[in-house]
Chains A and B, each alone.
Chain A
Amino acid sequence: MARIMIVDDAAFMRMVIKDILSKNGHEVVAECVDGLDAVQKYPQVNPELVFMDIVMPNMEGIDALKKIMEIDPEAKVVMCSSIGQQSVVTDAIKSGALDFIVKPFDAAKVLEVIGKVM
């Protein structure tokens, strides 16, 4: 099962995603509170997959994605978006994000995406 890093400024969202992942045998190797945190932790924990929120303080998800893709061009990043962010998600995909999930999402959706990108 995958070693996954969660990036979201909302502790609530991190908790929901983490629970979904750990209940299904994945390991959450790091939780990051913003893009800056994610860029710092990525090389340390070297996760197999990153769930990346988009709208965050300090550094937005799209910028963090781009930085992470520079650090590791093979990085697997899935964007977590809310409705109303077409253009950013599109941009993210062009920048190397493998997939995206749209809030509200359920466990099935998260696991489906993991199944597809891993």
Chain B
Amino acid sequence: MDMSDYTDVFKAESEEHLQQLNESLLGLEQNPADMEYINTMFRSAHTLKGMSATMGFSTIAELTHEMENLMDMVRKCQISVNDALIDILFECLDTLEALVASIENPEEVNITHLQARLKNAMEGTFDAPGSPRSTESEEPRSCDNTTVDTSKEQDLTFELSEEEKASMQYAEQDGYRILAVNVTLDDSCVLKSARSTLVIITISKMGEIIRCEPSENELEDENFELDFTLVFATKETDENIMDKVSKISEVKSVKLISLSKKEENEELLETIEKQEETKVAATTQNESAVKRSDSVKSIQSVRVNIERLDKLMNLVGELTINKIRINQLASDLNAKSLDESLTNLDRLTNEIQNEVMESRMVPINQIFSRFPRMVRDLAKSEGKEINLVIEGKEIELDRTVLDEIGDPLVHLLRNAVDHGIESLEERRALGKPDAGFVKLSAARQRNSILIEVEDDGKGMDPDHLRKVAIKKGIMTQDEVDKLSDADALNIIFIPGFSGAKTVTDVSGRGVGMDAVKNKIEALGGTVKISSVLGQGSSMKLQLPLTVAIIQSLMVTVSNETYAIPLTNVVRDVGIKTSDIKTIEGKEVTMLRGEVLPLLRLHSVLESPHDMEEKENLIVVVVEKMGNNIGFIVDELLGQQEVIIKTLDNKLLKNTKGFAGATILGDGSVALILDIGTLI
């Protein structure tokens, strides 16, 4: 059977189970007495075992099997939950994750060390990772597992008790025959006890069992090799019995012995060596016409490749563009008769667009769920206690956005734990609770998602940031002096700045806050920072629900239309030419008592501009890195939803300043400005 077709499903479902295991293990660590966690973990490990064995991934199957055994012992209160146990299980999960991740290109992963530690855990001795197992065992092992059942020959080598002989006699008087059936199971039989029970049930349907050798209890405990004997009273024919028993799967041979006349006169009636199953072929000969009967379909969801959804989204975009064109044509032609169908078309395209957008939405929990584990490990390695609160994990957002925000969030959380939360000693000295508070929350705000990472740590010191900025040569004394305390916090977003006094293992990976900011802005989002010294910091990310469609402010410059993403736009204002002042050779204006630097969009875009200087100018105020900048544009066309077409072909790939292009209702192309890279 070729299993490669199932790889995707296997992988996706395994990942879900691993996630579930991770969550439950974290829960168990918090509440070691809560058995529901262990039960859930047991089920997940068990399901994984079955799945991986079916796929032929023996390493995963072995490891999950041993984890399952360990959890079973915890379930049965044979061993108790402690830190060492939790750590081992976490390590197992990490190993499993690695194994699942690499199933397409399996690497040799040695799990013997982990298995040894699991085994020790089951025996109640815990080792630190890496340390060799202690050779001294505190107390002698009470049970010796080496006792092997030596009773191999059971051709009625056992004695029948007086009681059993008596029942045989009664049965014979009532017209029953007494038979002994000796059954040998296949070497490959895995669940011998269950198989033997099946034989016992089969026999007991045909008669009365008088004796079972080894005893039923021993059979159930698998305390036997491959064969066992049943003595029973029956009225069935030998052929019938042979037929029924030999039909049971995994039965290798059946011997039927008549005990009816005299015990010493054992007569071998029949021996059947079962042939290797040849019936399979017969059962597979199917009649091709399978009747469709009253089947009940239970599939409520299907997995769809993300590429398909992307394509669908793209098509919807094209559809919308065409709709807008038809609308425009109809109004140009003054074709009133089209009004009704156009309204319907409008409604339908909107609905399709919404449905397609919704189908791309996934709960943010898909990435949030990884964080408790990460924060736990991080806190543990730094000797801190962290109380992580997660809110709004049911909030949904576009798959593409979700894929992109994982890394930035990891960075923000690491920062919070690493730099934000003080050491235990410091917290105690400050009278703060031992456990640092870190909150990760998501909320939907109309067409955007707000994600916030908050901590109650030491906060950021604007003066310290100013000093570092000067020391690193990022800013001059003059420049930092101009910054308000709130603005000074934005220094951390400047490339080349790292807030940490010392580079630690976790945060000092060369990815600064500037990378976070760039990533979020590339998605059409914004990052806002606030902090109170001594009380904590908060990072607010505002993200669009989807990256495929954005709300834009449409403007014209030199008769060309441009779209400015609304997330960047602060406001638009009208000013007079006389309002423009010049400071240090740069044009500025005063807006609400603040100096607003002005840029003429046509010169930024280097487009020819032969229009006369008007007296009244339109300024679109945009925000970049916490600073406001005013763009002077020719005309405001208003707000519009635009569908982004990326500029990812070879020719335009490296164009700076544009987030993409969109097609307007009249069929013309408008470029979408990317404020982050434009100026």
Q: A residues within 8 Å of B by Cβ?
A: 1, 3, 9-13, 15-16, 20, 22, 24-33, 37, 41, 44-45, 53, 55-57, 80-87, 89-90, 92-94, 99-100, 102-109, 111-116
A86 with B50: in contact, given A10-B13, A112-B283 (CB under 8 Å)? no
Do A99 and B249 contact each other (CB < 8 Å), given the known contacts A86-B191, A115-B279?
Answer: yes
Can you spell out 8 A-B residue pairs with CB atoms less than 8 angstroms apart? Answer: A9-B43, A12-B51, A25-B286, A27-B292, A32-B298, A84-B69, A100-B194, A100-B198
Additional A-B contact list (18), CB under 8 Å, known A82-B46, A94-B197: A12-B13, A16-B54, A26-B286, A41-B298, A44-B296, A55-B42, A83-B65, A86-B222, A87-B193, A89-B197, A90-B197, A92-B194, A99-B248, A102-B190, A104-B54, A111-B284, A112-B283, A115-B280
- Given the contacts A12-B9, A45-B295, A57 and B43 also touching, CB distance less than 8 Å: yes
Chain A CB within 8 A of B365 CB:
no
In-complex Cβ contact of A90 among B51, B69, B194 (8 A)? B194
A30 to B295, CA, bound (A): 7
Contacts of A13 in B (CB 8 A): 47, 50-51, 54
Lowest 9 CB-CB distances: which A-B pairs, in order?
A25-B286, A89-B194, A104-B53, A103-B50, A115-B283, A86-B193, A55-B46, A82-B50, A90-B197
Q: In this assembly, does B143 line the interface, its C-beta being within 8 Å of a C-beta of chain A?
A: no
Contact with A along B180-200 (1 / 0, CB 8 A): 000000000011111001100
Residues of B2-57 at the interface with A, using a CB-CB cut-off of 8 Å, are: 3, 6, 9-10, 13-14, 40, 42-43, 46-47, 49-51, 53-56
- From residue A44, how far is it (CB to closest CB) to chain B in Å? 6
B68 touches A84 (CB 8 A): yes
In the assembled complex, how far is the CB of residue B287 from the closest CB belonging to chain A, in whole angstroms?
6
Inter-subunit contact B43/A85 (CB<8 Å): no
Decide if B592 is an interface residue (CB 8 Å cutoff).
no
Cβ-closest chain B residue relative to A107: B1
Nearest CB in chain B to that of A45: its residue: B296
* Across-interface contacts of A55 in B (CB, < 8 A): 42-43, 46-47
Docked CA distance A16–B287 (Å):
21
Report yes or no: B201 in contact with A94, Cβ–Cβ below 8 A: yes
B296 contacts which of A12, A29, A82, A108 (Cβ < 8 Å)?
Answer: A29
Counting chain A CB atoms within 10 Å of each CB, which of B46, B50, B56, B290 scores highest? B50
Contact partners of A89 in chain B: CB under 8 A? 191, 193-194, 197
Contact B198–A93 (Cβ < 8 Å): yes
- The answer to whether residues A9 and B290 also contact, given A86-B222, A89-B191, A100-B194 and a CB cut-off of 8 A, is no
Which residue numbers of B lie inside 8 Å of A, CB to CB?
1, 3, 6, 9-10, 13-14, 40, 42-43, 46-47, 49-51, 53-56, 61, 65, 68-69, 190-194, 197-198, 201, 220, 222, 247-249, 277, 279-280, 282-284, 286-288, 290-296, 298-299
Alpha-carbon separation in the docked complex, A25 to B288 (Å): 7
User: B193 contacts A24, CB within 8 Å?
Assistant: no
Chain A residues with Cβ below 8 Å from B49 are: 82, 103
Residue of A nearest to B216 (CB): A90
When distances are taken between beta carbons in the complex, the residues of chain B under 8 Å from A113 are 249
Q: Please indicate the chain A residues that have their CB under 8 angstroms from the CB of B197 in the complex.
A: 89-90, 93-94
Complex contacts, B220 vs chain A, CB 8 Å: 86-87, 90
Q: How far is the CB of A79 from chain B (nearest CB, A)?
A: 8
**Cβ B9 vs Cβ A15 within 8 A:** yes
The residue in chain B whose Cβ has the minimal distance to the Cβ of A86 is B193
Least Cβ–Cβ distance between B461 and chain A, in angstroms: 50
Complexed CA–CA distance, A80 and B54 (Å)? 12
- Which chain B residue shows the least CB distance to A55? B46
- Contacts of B192 on A, CB cut-off 8 Å? 86
Query: In the assembled complex, how far is the CB of residue A83 from the closest CB belonging to chain B, in whole angstroms?
Result: 5
| CA distance in complex: A87, B636 (Å) | 77
Compute how far the CA of A12 lies from the CA of B55 in the bound complex, rounded to whole angstroms: 10
> Nearest Cβ distance between residue B4 and chain A, in whole angstroms?
12
Q: Check A27 against B277 for contact (C-beta < 8 Å).
A: no
Which of these, B51, B249, B286, contacts A116 with CB under 8 Å? B249
Set of chain B residues within 8 Å of A41, measured between Cβ atoms: 296, 298
CA distance A20 to B2 in the complex (A): 11
- Asked whether A31 lies within 8 Å of B299 as measured between CB atoms, the reply is yes
Quick check: A15 and B295 within 8 Å, CB to CB?
Answer: no
With a cutoff of 8 Å between Cβ atoms, the chain A residues found around residue B291 in the complex are 27
Return B203 CB to nearest CB of chain A, in Å: 13
Contacts of A109 in B (CB 8 A): 249
Question: Do B293 and A27 touch across chains, with their CB atoms under 8 A apart?
Answer: yes
On whether the beta carbons of A115 and B282 are closer than 8 Å, the reply is yes
- Return B17 CB to nearest CB of chain A, in Å: 8
A23 to chain B, nearest CB (A): 9
User: Within 8 Å CB of A105, what residues of B?
Assistant: 54
- Residues of B contacting A111 with CB < 8 Å? 280, 283-284
In angstroms, how far is the closest chain B Cβ from the Cβ of A33? 8
CB distance from A18 to the nearest CB of B (A): 11
Shortest Cβ distance from residue A56 to the other chain B in the assembled complex, whole angstroms: 7
Query: CA A70 – CA B283 in complex, angstroms?
Result: 30
Closest to A79 in B: B194
A114 to B197, CA, bound (A): 19
| CA gap between A87 and B288 in the complex, in Å | 40
Bound together, the chains give a CA A12 to CA B200 distance in angstroms of: 34
A26 to B50, CA, bound (A): 23
Task: Indicate if the CB atoms of B191 and A102 lie closer than 8 Å.
Answer: yes
Q: Which residues of A contact B288 (CB under 8 A)?
A: 25
Highest count of chain A CB atoms <10 Å: which of B68, B192, B287: B68
A residues less than 8 Å from B46 (CB atoms): 55, 82
Cα-based distance from A12 to B61 in the complex (angstroms): 15
Known: A31-B299, A55-B42. A82 touches B193 (CB 8 A): no
- Report A-chain residues with C-beta under 8 Å of the C-beta of B280: 108, 111-112, 115
Q: Which of A25, A29, A32, A92 contacts B295 (CB 8 A)?
A: A29
Contacts of A81 in B (CB 8 A): 191, 194
Given known A112-B283, A116-B249, contact A12–B191 (CB-CB < 8 A): no
**What residues of chain A lie closer than 8 Å to B299, measured between beta carbons?**
31
Contact A56–B298 (Cβ < 8 Å):
no
Q: Is the CB of B201 within 8 A of A16?
A: no
Residues in B with CB closer than 8 Å to A33 are 298
A104 and B193 form a contact (CB under 8 A): no
Whether B284 contacts A24 by the Cβ 8 Å rule is: yes
Q: Judging by beta carbons under 8 Å apart, are B198 and A99 in contact? A: yes
A113-B61 Cα distance, complex, nearest whole Å: 24
List of B residues within 8 angstroms of A85 by Cβ: 191
Q: Give the Cβ gap from B452 to chain A, nearest Cβ, in Å.
A: 33
Output the residue of A56, A99, A107 with the most chain B CB within 10 A.
Answer: A99
Residue numbers in B under 8 Å from A116 (CB-CB): 247-249
| Most B-side CB within 10 Å, residue of A10, A13, A28, A80 | A10
Q: Which residue of the partner chain B has the closest CB to A37?
A: B298
**Separation of A53 and B296 alpha carbons in the complex (Å):** 19
In the complex formed, the residue of A with least CB distance to B8 is: A12
Distance of A37 Cα from B299 Cα, bound (Å): 13
Closest to B303 in A: A11
